[in-house]
Structure 1
Amino acid sequence: MINEWCSHPPDQAQPGFHSRLLDRDSDTNVFSTLWELYLHEMLLGPGCVVGIEPGVGTRGKKPDFLVAYEGERFVIEAIWTAQRLGETESNPLPPGLTDAIDGVPSPNFFVSYKLDRAGPVMPTQRRLKAGLTRWLASLDPDQVIAEYERQVPLPWYIWQEADWRLTFEAIPRSPGKRGDPASRTIGVHPASTWLGDGPERVLGAVKRKGGKYGDLALPFIVAVGQADLFPKPEDTETALYGTLVEYAHASTPTFGRMPDGYWTATYDHRHGRVSGVLTVANPAPWTWTKDSPVLWRSPDPSSLSTPILPTWATAQLVDARRIPATGPSHLRHPRPD
């Protein structure tokens, strides 16, 4: 699929895509190139005419794509972001406890764990395994997946004995990976500290690209590809529209936004140049046909309105509240065949 998609940009652009895909020194370079290929293919799907690195804008720089669709034109600039890792720590659990957790029969779930408190004496492994086994056996993986897609948190379980306390989270295995008796139970070790940097990362990405090209005189979309362990729409909402706050006026609460979002910042009216932000969580060859791009529309009245492609879901702000993303009536993904 990647080889085929590399053949679709104009001939003069193909060497650049090839060299970045083969960059053995930079994973970011590889993934950002895959993100651009995905966007290019997604634009071709509904019949857009796509120009590569057009000479537009007042700063003499070239954005990624100039798109023509049903008589309208707009510009897309791609940026790849990845969740940052904190300082690496050694595994805090004794090897015996790690082996005990990995020995729990779990055909339908992986588990992640967090050591909340460690005691001075090794706890009984038999009771730990028995408690985990009962908990995991009580869960339905398909139900957990369906609930997670509706923004319900993954199920968790606290195990305590003596002075020990561990918190476990159940991560459903995909249907094709269930039932393997040789598969380990631990899916995520706390070997690295994941930072909750979602809003800052999205906000920083849009800021870097939003003012890069000056005045384009065309609708402008920043397309943010996100590598995130557990992506949350609320992070993007906060980054773009600001933190949601509730004000109590008599008995009727009203809602507003803090001026800490890209479009709600009171100190920089130039942010109206960005008409929308297109996001896809964890885009990769194995998820390209599953995840719908979401176009977050600018609430700034000075922003130029951008066309909405039939492959995009949309989200917007109305009276300080976000209207949840609504999907297209007929979703056409990038062409996998």
Structure 2
Amino acid sequence: MEMDSSLRIFDELERTFPGPADYSEGHFSYYNRSARPAVAAIRARLGEMFSRYPVEHQAELRARFRSGDDRGFDSAFFELLLHELLLRLRCTVEVHPPVTSGDGKVPDFLAAPEDGEPFYVEAIVASALSDNEAARQSIMNVVYDQINKIESRNFFITISTIEGIGQRQPSGKRIRRFLETRLAALDPDRVAQDYTEGAADLPEWLYEEDKLKIEFGVVPKSTQARMKQGARSLGKLATEVKWGSDASSLRDAISRKAGRYGDLGHPYVIAINSTSKWGVEHTDVMEALFGTESFYLDRETLKEMRMVRNPDGALNTRRGATYTRVSAVLIAFGAYPASIANVVVKLYHNPWAKYLYSGPLCQLEQEVPVGDNMKRTPGISLGDLFGLNRDWPGD
């Protein structure tokens, strides 16, 4: 079958929308319609990368970009990013190479360096959000968009607390009427004076619908903001409390992919894009791979604290070293289309790997086993490898 090499991720059309994305808007929808120069630069870069993706696999990747599901967009983007990374490291890349696992599953990539051993790469996105949390976020995104439809010339609307988000979408029209009625009763000059003087009793309203409770407030707009056409009404949102670390989502991602294909006979690298909205840290990765930290007081000195790893990591359990077919884990610390120039990408080696990895990914920043410890070694950044300035894609 002859493949169409003219496929494009984004549509060719005249774009006039200059604003930010709606809260409930999908990634593809916004990138496809935005007229902002920065978004145009992103579209152009992704288009260039897509043109180098194997023609016979472009249709499937494009469909995920355009599916309307942000999870599909995110996974397609990360696979495209990895493919481009491998090309720029002078690898020949095969997409979905056949393997002998027998169940029809295939890894994402087989990369063959100019010199050295071929290696497999499997991609996965870890968001740290459960399905229920993602559903609740989607519900509130629709609410936020409804609030932004309110014409509030004098005030930003703030949200201090949200409780009892259920599975049913609350009435956006009812919330708008609730807020519009209360905003109309305010004296803008009086509220602005109270705000300037630091008054503690600024207007607050509790909205209730079924079990849902939202506490709203207002902040007076500056003179400049009042004159701005099309400005959004929604200001500060409720701060979400993060319990624990992101190590569990990373550990789960590794476990899902570690034994998926059996013994591949070559190094196997799992690449994870951590898109946690709280931001993943190096300590989260170390706990996910090698176990959580415990500290013990030295019995002799009773002063020095000693850190040990509990056997609850993906690669280190109570049974000892596990998933030894995983050679290394490549972590992207929040890779998005707009962050390619600045995202940190680091390679964590598995000290117990059956097939040790020493290929071109070692040009990136690494964590290398030295004795019983891991040692950081610097490397080239993704931005430099892709030839992007730090301020790309601009404002």
State the TM-score, normalizing by the size of structure 2.
Answer: 0.58
Q: Which residue of 1 aligns with 2:118?
A: 73
Which whole-Å deviations, capped at 9, do the CAs of 1:40-93 have from their partners, x for residues lacking one?
0011112111111111353453101111122221110001122313756989xx
In the TM superposition, what are the counterparts of 1:220-231 in structure 2 within 5 Å? 220-231=268-279
What is the alpha-carbon distance in structure 2 between the residues aligned to residue 302 and residue 264 of structure 1?
A: 14
Moved more, 305-314 or 14-23: 305-314
Unaligned runs of 5+ in 2: 1-44, 163-189, 205-223
What is the alpha-carbon distance in structure 2 between the residues aligned to residue 46 and residue 236 of structure 1?
A: 24
Which whole-Å deviations, capped at 9, do the CAs of 1:180-232 have from their partners, x for residues lacking one?
84577976512866665611111111100010000011111100112122213
In the TM superposition, what are the counterparts of 1:92-131 in structure 2 within 5 Å? 129-130=195-196
What is the alpha-carbon distance in structure 2 between the residues aligned to residue 75 and residue 62 of structure 1?
A: 10
- Seq. identity, %: 24
Q: Give the residue type in structure 2 aligned to 1:243.
A: T
Greater radius of gyration (CA): 2
SS of residue matched to 2:62: helix
Does 2:330 match 1:286?
Answer: no
* Structure 1 residue 277, shift from structure 2 partner: 0.8
Q: Give the residue type in structure 1 aligned to 2:268.
A: F
In the TM superposition, what are the counterparts of 1:241-260 in structure 2 within 5 Å? 241-249=290-298, 250-251=300-301, 252-260=304-312
Structure of greater relative contact order (alpha carbons < 8 Å, 6+ residues apart): 1
Q: Which residue of 1 aligns with 2:79?
A: 36
Q: Which residue of 2 aligns with 1:273?
A: 325
Unaligned runs of 5+ in 1: 105-111, 117-123, 133-158, 165-179
Tell me: CA distance 1:332–1:310, structure 2 relative to 1, closer, same or farther (3 Å).
farther
Structure 1 or 2: larger strand share? 1
Tell me: CA distance 1:324–1:188, structure 2 relative to 1, closer, same or farther (3 Å).
farther
* Structure 1 residue 18, shift from structure 2 partner: 1.5
In the TM superposition, what are the counterparts of 1:1-337 in structure 2 within 5 Å? 1-24=45-68, 26-60=69-103, 61-69=105-113, 70-84=115-129, 85=133, 87=136, 129-130=195-196, 181=225, 189-190=237-238, 196=244, 198-233=246-281, 234-249=283-298, 250-251=300-301, 252-267=304-319, 269-300=321-352, 302-309=354-361, 312-318=364-370, 321-324=373-376, 326-328=378-380, 332-334=384-386
State the TM-score, normalizing by the size of structure 1.
Answer: 0.67
Q: Give the residue type in structure 2 aligned to 1:259.
A: P
SS of residue matched to 1:272: coil
Q: Give the residue type in structure 1 aligned to 2:278.
A: F
Structure 1 or 2: larger helix share? 2
Q: Which residue of 1 aligns with 2:172?
A: none
Say how many residue pairs are matched.
274
- Over the residues paired in the alignment, what is the CA RMSD in angstroms? 3.9
Q: Give the residue type in structure 2 aligned to 1:273.
A: R
Which whole-Å deviations, capped at 9, do the CAs of 1:93-136 have from their partners, x for residues lacking one?
xx9xxx9xx769xxxxxxx98669xxxxxxx977984588xxxx
Residues 242 and 261 of structure 1 are in contact (CA less than 8 Å); yes or no, is this contact kept in structure 2? yes
